[in-house]
Structure 1
Amino acid sequence: MIKESRNIAAAIAALTLSVAAFAHSKENVAAGASTGSATGQDLYKEFQNPPKSARPRVWWHWMNGNITKDGIKKDLLWMQKTGIVGFHNFDAGLETPQIVDKRLIYMTPEWKDAFKYAINLADSLDMEMTIASSPGWSETGGPWVKDEDAMKKLVWRQVEIKGGQPVSLKLPEGFDITGPFMDFTGSFDGVSQVFLRKKFYRDIAVVGVKLSDKDINLKELHPVITSSGCDATGEEMLERITGDSVGDYLDVKTDKNGKCWIQYEFAEPQTIKAVVVSELRKDTNPYVHTKELQYSDDGVNFKSINLSYQATAQRTYAIPATTAKYFRLSLKDNKGKKDCEFGIAQFALSTVTRIQLAGDKAGNSFYRLLWMEDTPYSSEAARLEDVVDLTPYVKDGTLTWNAPEGNWRIFRFGYSLTGKTNHPASPEATGLEVDKLDPKAITEYFHNYLQTYVEASGGKLGKGGIEYLLTDSYEAGAQTWTRNMFEEFKARKGYDLLRWMPALTGMVLNNTEETERFLFDWRRTIGDMISEYHYDLQNEILKPYGMKRYTESHENYRANLSDGMDCKRYAEIPMSAFWMDYKNEKIFNPRFEADVRESASVAHIYGQNIAAAESFTSDGYRDGAWVFSPAVLKPTADAAMAAGLNRFVIHTSPHQPVDDKVPGLGLGKYGQWFDRHQTWADQAKAWTDYLSRSCYMLQQGRFVADVAYYYGEDNNATGIMLKKVPALPYGYNYDYFSPSVIRDLAKAENGLLTVPSGMKYKVLMLDANVKHMSIDILRKIKVFADAGVVICGAKPQKLAGNTGTEEEFKALVKDIWNTGRKNVTAGVPAEKVLSAMSLKPDFSIASGNNKDIKFVHRNLSDGEIYWVTNLSKDTRDITASFRTTGKKPVIWHAEDASTEPVSYEIADGRTNVKMSLTQHQSAFVIFTENTDVAKVELPETSEETIVELNTPWSVKFQQGRGAPESATFNELTSLTESSEPGIKYFSGAVTYSNIFKLKKKEIRGKDSVILDLGDVKDLAEVTVNGKNLGVFWNAPFKVDITKAVRNGENTIEVKVINMWHNRLVGDVQPGVTKKITYTQMEFFKPEEPLLPAGLIGPVRIIGETTTK
């Protein structure tokens, strides 16, 4: 721990910024995996009471200055009691209203005093402490970031001139406005974004390009411009929609058919090969519409070309050569609404091919399927040798140049700021996002940021204080320039950037394939700089502070040009995120599975072993608010663990500064809500124990995967797998391989792929995204093929990047795929490849339905751990088949740490185990005890009802929630069936009491006596004869009461806790004048359906008997 700020400053001042040396240093790659190593009795002992490494953390948001020491103390003590061993602290805004007497504004003396109190208390409780990488949650920015150090974008202005004469030309002024692209100031996806409005511009270079003869300026064709309804003249429309601006929108009204259009009419038919469009909706989400390019010979009968991919400021479409007299851009609402408001900033036609989706390929936005968007081949483009650096001929914005013959396009390239800010911070803590491509700016940013925490924590950074920095999901948008871009590009790609810069505007140079390869190099340069400077460099920056990092990256789509695994590779804890989808009853979307598995793959390959996740995030309006019981959360938690998660960081536990407002503050509309004001806060440890035991077991040993799944370059796992998962046959597990893993880590040994952590893979599978492949990756795959590694997947079609040659590319592809290698297949289903290898599934269902049943396998030094989960709503009676022999299987249950023997048979190199998994049930199958017994068949268990509790129940309600103090229920039904509003809308704890009698003869010969509660909403804490038997939170609600019951009269008390949802709905009913609850968001309407609540039953006492 460094306690004096001068030591921190000295350490940072000495920091070496040679990031290349750092990022590729072998000391950052684990020499051997950091695996859990417990065995035998130690394994079960720690399973019962898991260590700190396995227990959940929470995100602890301090909301807009609503902070009190009393609330801090109560929050942290509740966390400790609940089994939460750490927090990730955020200072957030989200326009949260003030509910305390005085706001504590971020980093004021009062805020620092409260923060220091929190750190000292947490330290005394032995809690792990983490801070976010900026105020808010994303990303790295704040008020101290200077304009010159902020995120930058490439901008340009262009003019055309005729050569063969001296030129003296005042160049157009560069765009100096902040926004994501050129002079566009909105957002690409229709979601509100925060940008600081500033004027900033710096020149980069002036470049001239001699145009091909077929590249004709649209104005020279003298088109007639008409529209469905625009106040501008045709001449004005032509000037504006063919200019550089993408933010100066023409207001165009729809016609009577609900279509908005602008039309070019030419005197003679023209052949068009590309169209550039910038448009948006003004009356709703900017991109909720469809668009077409229509063309006609007579202006009456039109044919159409669909123009898709809408969520960006500008799109370039390379279309088949189309000849017509009329060309029309047609827009309409995608649901048929006719009265719409559209703005059109650009509608430019090109007589030569331009790069398909040029803006995306230049890095201005992040379309995830670029590999499917090749530009049609064309060689009628400008030549690279005809690109001239005119910068020396420019003074004070005026070009003075003796232009050679020909038509020339002059580009004035510069950079301005994106204006993106960290968010959602309080206003006082909001500022510009730092330049993600500039190591000097990033280092200074973190020095300034961490220095404030040195002061706020009393020097407690490192062990015993703030141990970790969290980088949340990347939400800072695109960046396309930095101060040293020319030098960076040359060092990484080996050739000069300047002459290729016109390609960044969409122009084709030499031919489309060379231009596409340059754009690949451009994107990879930016992506690698983000990975190395914004992520890898953090390790070196944090080292003097004694800190390490948790790191998320893209989360659930493609958020920037970096590779997600690269962003996480050197993090102490690679981290992902997954959301709830309560209303749609979706357990786990593919994009979340991709992110979790991406982090798990990093942990397996780079050796961290721990893969964490921001867990259970939800949108209260979309997914439901205060509806998430442990039983609702469990299947999603299990799906995340099936994808490789083994540490939960629960989203979210907002700081509750006061006790008279419940449920209290939230993170705006975002949940799920897990804090001390939750209705089931006192029972939450039963839930966190389940998560902890599960994670503990999934941290032990080493993950077993047969397949290394290579998803390719120029994308990331969450981009490619947004809507799918790899198509592997059932029963085989896999890790993702990134280009960096292929290129820098993976080796071939004895026909297997190995990495330094000790992982070994039997098959390398290639995703369809490998259609384009760079020469260094292809060379490495040849090494694998030569060494006998089994490679399954289609061969690449095109060379990616200009650092290799077409000749070498074609020779390597032919050598690998077309020379009869038996270990390399293309177009052969993976199932057949694995079968030909005689590689049996690691896990299979010998009998029964395998749908929605997933598994994880961890290899121990003395055995195997298999985890099997049933994600369906049905009970599954199965015979599970495991690829292991010689060990006796035993089932361990994470809910209560109980174990049970099973029937099994060992045969043909496998162990078959009979299992019955109820809805959403999971179980560990442990193989650690040696056995020579090949088959065990356990006797079956039968059950009979001894007593059915249908006598009246005495009921007591938690006070202060609107219900009467007590009531008597003659029969058990949902509380929502009551005619008493205080009961109908009740949320909280309800205690049901009853008495039942048992006779000796009724339980004689019974192996166990079970209390079956029937249907419970949502948790139950059971006491029989004064003995507390614990908390039960998921079906079936069956409690072993054998040791608690007695002959004669028995008392039973069942405390049932439901969700806040019903009371929140009750508080918005007509006529309610005094609300019981407080939330800052209005989620509920009076007609909102209520959730079943309470002890619904039927309640029975059951006797279980083993059949001899």
Structure 2
Amino acid sequence: MRIKAPARILATALMLNLISTAVPAADRLADGFAIPPPDCRPWVYWFWLNGNITREGITLDLEAMKRVGIGGVLIMEVDQGAPLGPVPFASDMWRELFAHVLREAARLGLQVNMNNDAGWCGSGGPWVRPEHAMQKVVWSVTEVQGGQEFSGTLPQPPAVAGYYRDIAVLAFPTPSAFRIPDIAPKSALVRGDVMPGARSPEAPSDAMVRRDAIVDLTPNMAPDGSLRWNVPAGRWTILRLGHTPTGAMNAPSPDSGRGLEVDKLSKAALDAYWDGFLAKLVADSPDLVGRTFVATHIDSWETGSQNWTPLFREEFRRLRGYDPLLYLPIYAGYVVDSSEVSDRFLYDVRQTVSDLLLQNYAGHMRELARRHGMRLTIEAYGDTTVDNLAYAARADEPMAEFWSWTPYGAASTLPEMTGPAHFYGKTVVGAEAFTATDAEKWLGHPGNIKAMGDWAFSLGINRFVFHRYALQPWRDRRPGMSMGPWGLHYERTQTWWDQTVPWHRYLSRCQFLLRQGQPVVDILSIAPEGAARTFNPPSPLRLSGYKADP
């Protein structure tokens, strides 16, 4: 076939363009492999122990990290057995030392991620007021005989931290003693894996509370709990419902940093929480925020669940499309209309808790961080009522964890975090790497952990954050400060510390290459709907070598 000259010119130009774009891509891979970018270097969890912090120790630690090819630090302050040091958490002295960290990190070309509170789990502190703390539904029951006027004071439900607010007062004909089993996990008070499609046993007919028989007495009760009501004939139950803090606190933090956990379902509470700590660190070093101070972090959830927030009723209406008022006795275990109806309401409660947590906690924390050019990292799993996969999606960088000395401990978190990262197009997936118990006792080293690291790489992890490096407040004490029973011992006091340069270069090269291209998996594994939702690939998939994403 004869090709005209213009067509030949066009074809040649297209071929040259393809060649010219392919070569730079290949060059970038080769160059990145030869000299990995600084962002691809491994990081460390840098644990500050109970106020034992010095300027000299900070500088020596950061210089030691830079010397061997560490790229950044994730700072947490904990109380794990070290004697109380001279620097209270978040005090003026502490903040000046944190600003010193940022200045030294900038000098050395390192990056800093600061945990959002003291301890390694949660979001809490002494600046969290009870009204901004995680809330739960509580109630008191008063039974009255009908056919007469009731005039009395309804007992206030139990209060935690001296704080209680009413939700509603509802009355209904007294049912039999049957109550919904396992109401705590079903009502999101604690995390529980409720089987999809599972149904509570059908309640006896005399245990049913008919919705059309429920009387809303909320306007009748005075602020002091007193109530006057002409009770219809029969035996009646008056249910006074309110909310109070769960009492959960951040842990394991120094006393100076311990306080109530913030309400994860309230954007207003999170704003106050941010202003109480992280906003101050941002204001102290504005020129380094987003450049050296690059992220804040939420670690694995270990502070329990909550099932209320002051705007829960309004948010429930918005998200679920109906008013929960007459279903509220279900929180106390009563069956409203039927077991099936009650189960459906409890499903909606759990889903609403999850939705609000994703929107007003993880999503809003990410928004607050991004306002300052920072990102949010999250270990998006633990003991609360949330869809872990959607929770991971709210992170700029989801993080998993894996343990050494308890081989492949927490292994299920790797696909649980890499799967959402793949689906939502997140390039970097971190891991709390090589965490160990006291059985490790300084026996770990790159030679006997490398195989486990390669395994984590094969499952999609591409940023190791070594657990852990304990801040060494002294110049030359060995083995120096440790973190109670927890390893891996990975700090400048190790005999092999200065020999880790090739190991860190290897990790940097792996992490660079693993961030290129597109992820490939073998199997799409269907995860159940609803909250709480955990993705744990079936054992045959884990053992067969196949990769599975939810």
Identity over aligned residues, as a percent? 33
Match of 2:387 in 1: 563
Answering whether residue 109 of structure 2 is matched by residue 126 of structure 1, we say yes
Answering whether residue 348 of structure 2 is matched by residue 362 of structure 1, we say no
Q: Distance in 2 between matches of 1:466 and 1:578?
A: 26
Q: Distance in 1 between matches of 2:229 and 2:81?
A: 55
Bigger relative contact order (CA 8 A; separation at least 6): 2
Out of 706, 720, 733, which is 2:547 matched to? 733
Answering whether residue 45 of structure 2 is matched by residue 62 of structure 1, we say no
Match of 1:536 in 2: 363
SS of 1:545's equivalent in the other structure is: coil
Out of 301, 304, 320, which is 1:493 matched to? 320
Out of 135, 140, 145, which is 1:152 matched to? 135
Out of 495, 499, 508, which is 1:683 matched to? 499
SS of 1:651's equivalent in the other structure is: strand
Match of 2:228 in 1: 400
Deviation readout 1:103-132 (Å, 9 max, x if unpaired)? 222333333332222211111111111111
Q: What aligned pairs does 1:221-300 form with structure 2 within 5 A after superposition?
A: none
Q: CA shift at 1:41, angstroms?
A: 4.7
Match of 1:107 in 2: 90
Answering whether residue 39 of structure 2 is matched by residue 53 of structure 1, we say yes
Out of 656, 661, 674, which is 2:477 matched to? 661
SS of 2:227's equivalent in the other structure is: strand
Match of 1:206 in 2: 169
Deviation readout 1:662-692 (Å, 9 max, x if unpaired)? 2121222221111101121111223222322
Q: 1:461 touches 1:547 (CA, 8 Å); kept in 2?
A: no
Answering whether residue 72 of structure 2 is matched by residue 82 of structure 1, we say no
Q: 2:49 touches 2:470 (CA, 8 Å); kept in 1?
A: yes
Match of 1:579 in 2: 403
Q: 2:191 touches 2:304 (CA, 8 Å); kept in 1?
A: no
Answering whether residue 449 of structure 2 is matched by residue 633 of structure 1, we say yes
Q: 1:423 touches 1:430 (CA, 8 Å); kept in 2?
A: yes
Out of 712, 721, 725, which is 2:536 matched to? 721
Q: CA shift at 1:75, angstroms?
A: 0.7
Q: In the superposition, relative to structure 1, how do residues 57 and 729 fare at CA in structure 2: closer, same or farther (>3 Å)?
A: closer
Q: What aligned pairs does 1:414-493 form with structure 2 within 5 A after superposition?
A: 414-456=242-284, 458-493=285-320
Q: Distance in 2 between matches of 1:488 and 1:112?
A: 37
SS of 2:56's equivalent in the other structure is: helix
SS of 1:207's equivalent in the other structure is: strand
Q: CA shift at 1:140, angstroms?
A: 1.4
Q: 1:361 touches 1:520 (CA, 8 Å); kept in 2?
A: yes
For structure 1, the residue ranges without an aligned partner over 5 or more in a row are 1-36, 179-197, 216-349, 737-1108
Q: 1:552 touches 1:568 (CA, 8 Å); kept in 2?
A: yes
Out of 93, 97, 102, which is 2:83 matched to? 97
Answering whether residue 438 of structure 2 is matched by residue 613 of structure 1, we say no
SS of 2:51's equivalent in the other structure is: coil
Q: Distance in 1 between matches of 2:138 and 2:24?
A: 57
Q: Distance in 2 between matches of 1:43 and 1:109?
A: 46
Q: Distance in 1 between matches of 2:435 and 2:275?
A: 31
Q: Distance in 2 between matches of 1:155 and 1:371?
A: 27
Letter aligned with residue 263 of structure 2: D
Match of 1:900 in 2: none
Letter aligned with residue 721 of structure 1: N
Q: CA shift at 1:413, angstroms?
A: 0.7
Letter aligned with residue 432 of structure 1: L
Letter aligned with residue 495 of structure 2: T
Q: Distance in 1 between matches of 2:194 and 2:540?
A: 16
Match of 1:994 in 2: none
Letter aligned with residue 356 of structure 1: P
Q: CA shift at 1:69, angstroms?
A: 1.8
Match of 1:168 in 2: 151
Q: CA shift at 1:616, angstroms?
A: 1.3
Match of 1:383 in 2: 210
Q: In the superposition, relative to structure 1, how do residues 493 and 455 fare at CA in structure 2: closer, same or farther (>3 Å)?
A: closer
For structure 2, the residue ranges without an aligned partner over 5 or more in a row are 1-22
Q: What aligned pairs does 1:982-1021 form with structure 2 within 5 A after superposition?
A: none
Letter aligned with residue 65 of structure 1: G
Deviation readout 1:1-48 (Å, 9 max, x if unpaired)? xxxxxxxxxxxxxxxxxxxxxxxxxxxxxxxxxxxx984354234223
SS of 2:86's equivalent in the other structure is: coil
Q: CA shift at 1:498, angstroms?
A: 1.1
Q: What aligned pairs does 1:318-397 form with structure 2 within 5 A after superposition?
A: 350=177, 352=178, 354-371=179-196, 374-378=199-203, 380=205, 381-395=208-222, 396-397=224-225
Q: What aligned pairs does 1:1022-1037 form with structure 2 within 5 A after superposition?
A: none
- What TM-score does the superposition give when structure 1 sets the normalisation length? 0.46
Deviation readout 1:919-966 (Å, 9 max, x if unpaired)? xxxxxxxxxxxxxxxxxxxxxxxxxxxxxxxxxxxxxxxxxxxxxxxx
Q: Distance in 1 between matches of 2:199 and 2:323?
A: 24
Q: CA shift at 1:436, angstroms?
A: 0.8
Q: Distance in 1 between matches of 2:24 and 2:323?
A: 55
Q: In the superposition, relative to structure 1, how do residues 636 and 38 fare at CA in structure 2: closer, same or farther (>3 Å)?
A: farther
Q: Distance in 2 between matches of 1:450 and 1:116?
A: 12
Q: Distance in 2 between matches of 1:76 and 1:684?
A: 15
Letter aligned with residue 688 of structure 1: H
Q: CA shift at 1:695, angstroms?
A: 1.9
Letter aligned with residue 707 of structure 1: I
Letter aligned with residue 562 of structure 1: V
CA RMSD in angstroms comes to: 2.3
Q: In the superposition, relative to structure 1, how do residues 93 and 692 fare at CA in structure 2: closer, same or farther (>3 Å)?
A: same
Q: Distance in 2 between matches of 1:131 and 1:171?
A: 47
Letter aligned with residue 52 of structure 2: N
Q: What aligned pairs does 1:852-867 form with structure 2 within 5 A after superposition?
A: none
Q: In the superposition, relative to structure 1, how do residues 594 and 726 fare at CA in structure 2: closer, same or farther (>3 Å)?
A: farther
Deviation readout 1:1015-1050 (Å, 9 max, x if unpaired)? xxxxxxxxxxxxxxxxxxxxxxxxxxxxxxxxxxxx
Q: Judging by fraction of residues, say which structure has more strand.
A: 1
SS of 2:500's equivalent in the other structure is: helix
Q: Judging by fraction of residues, say which structure has more helix.
A: 2
Q: CA shift at 1:727, angstroms?
A: 4.2
Q: CA shift at 1:611, angstroms?
A: 0.7
Q: Distance in 2 between matches of 1:61 and 1:460?
A: 25
Match of 1:947 in 2: none
Q: 1:356 touches 1:373 (CA, 8 Å); kept in 2?
A: no
- What TM-score does the superposition give when structure 2 sets the normalisation length? 0.90
Q: In the superposition, relative to structure 1, how do residues 209 and 633 fare at CA in structure 2: closer, same or farther (>3 Å)?
A: farther
SS of 2:67's equivalent in the other structure is: helix
Q: CA shift at 1:726, angstroms?
A: 6.4
Q: Distance in 1 between matches of 2:535 and 2:215?
A: 38
Q: CA shift at 1:416, angstroms?
A: 1.4
SS of 1:526's equivalent in the other structure is: helix
Out of 337, 348, 352, which is 1:525 matched to? 352
Q: CA shift at 1:521, angstroms?
A: 0.1
Q: CA shift at 1:715, angstroms?
A: 4.1
Q: Distance in 1 between matches of 2:462 and 2:184?
A: 39
Q: Distance in 1 between matches of 2:62 and 2:328?
A: 55
Q: 2:459 touches 2:547 (CA, 8 Å); kept in 1?
A: no
Q: Distance in 1 between matches of 2:97 and 2:78?
A: 15
Q: In the superposition, relative to structure 1, how do residues 658 and 489 fare at CA in structure 2: closer, same or farther (>3 Å)?
A: same
Q: In the superposition, relative to structure 1, how do residues 695 and 716 fare at CA in structure 2: closer, same or farther (>3 Å)?
A: farther
Q: 1:68 touches 1:657 (CA, 8 Å); kept in 2?
A: yes
SS of 1:652's equivalent in the other structure is: strand
Q: CA shift at 1:73, angstroms?
A: 1.5
Match of 1:596 in 2: 414
Q: Distance in 2 between matches of 1:38 and 1:448?
A: 48
* Greater Rg over alpha carbons, structure: 1
How many residues are matched?
525
SS of 1:593's equivalent in the other structure is: coil
SS of 1:713's equivalent in the other structure is: coil
